[in-house]
Amino acid sequence: MKYHQTDISKMVAEFQLENSPTDRYASFDYCYHYFHPTTANDLLGEMEKSCLSLGFYLASWGMLRGSSFLLNKSVKYYEPLIRFIAGLDHSVWDIDVDQYSDENIRKICSIYREIQHIIVNNGNTHLTLVTKIMLGVFGFIPAYDNFFGNTFRDIFKGICGFRSVNQKSLHCIKKFYIDNSEEIDKYSSKIFVKKFATGHDSGITYTKSKVIDMYGFNKGLKQST
């Protein structure tokens, strides 16, 4: 079965209209650029900055609103997570949806479980939060929030519910990429991550997974309204 979509350009273009350097969507850019290995950040040497970079991205993307347990935490709460991220091999940042081999899917699932263990208190939901972290830091997986989930549940009716990060959901995302690779690759190659210091392009392009995230998020958002 083919999962080709005809509205990818429309959804991504609309998303980008709200992604100027001072818009909240740009918080992804600043977070991803900060953690991307090519920026040569010393995550441990600048621990406070590392925690603040991640924490503000999460706040900007709605992870500190409502009844979130993170509202009761200071930015130092992220320190163990930063230590985990800093200990990962830089090859993790090379993973993208076109590199979803069985081995890389296992790595993604393992990283998910480790972040869940580090950051999430017992009894708190974790799917959206952990995948938002993984998107902002590594860029190799879309965030499984309600908007993305609703979009992809509709596309993969009866096949995957996108309610957990597992082999099935990642294989479905890979299938979506394969069936829409021309459009996804086009935007991945021409949208550049913004650099905080200038607000302009950093030279690092968006990952294919990030383009898929923008599509799923924006389409789900529009359908909800």
3-state SS of 169-202? HHHHHHHHHHHCHHHHHHHHHHCEEECCCCCCEE
In a domain, 60, yes or no: yes
- pLDDT score at 128: 94
In a domain, 194, yes or no: yes
Across 129-141, average pLDDT: 97
- pLDDT score at 39: 67
- Which region, left, alpha or beta, applies to residue 107 given φ > 0 means left and ψ of -120 to 50 means alpha? alpha
Please report, as a single letter, which amino acid is at residue 186: K
- pLDDT score at 224: 86
The partner residues of 201 in beta bridges, in order of sequence, read 194
In a domain, 125, yes or no: yes
In a domain, 30, yes or no: yes
**pLDDT single digits (tens) 153-186:** 999 999 999 999 999 999 999 999 999 999 999 9
Closest to 135 measured CA to CA, from 91, 104, 93: 93
In a domain, 151, yes or no: yes
Structure tokens at 5: 């979509």
In a domain, 1, yes or no: no
Closest to 137 measured CA to CA, from 15, 39, 23, 22: 39
**pLDDT single digits (tens) 65-101:** 887 889 899 999 999 999 999 999 999 999 999 999 9
**pLDDT single digits (tens) 22-70:** 999 999 999 999 999 866 578 999 999 999 999 999 999 999 988 788 9
In a domain, 156, yes or no: yes
In a domain, 3, yes or no: no
Q: At residue 5, does pLDDT exceed 60?
A: yes
**For the chain, what is the domain count?**
1
Domain boundaries, position 220: 8-224
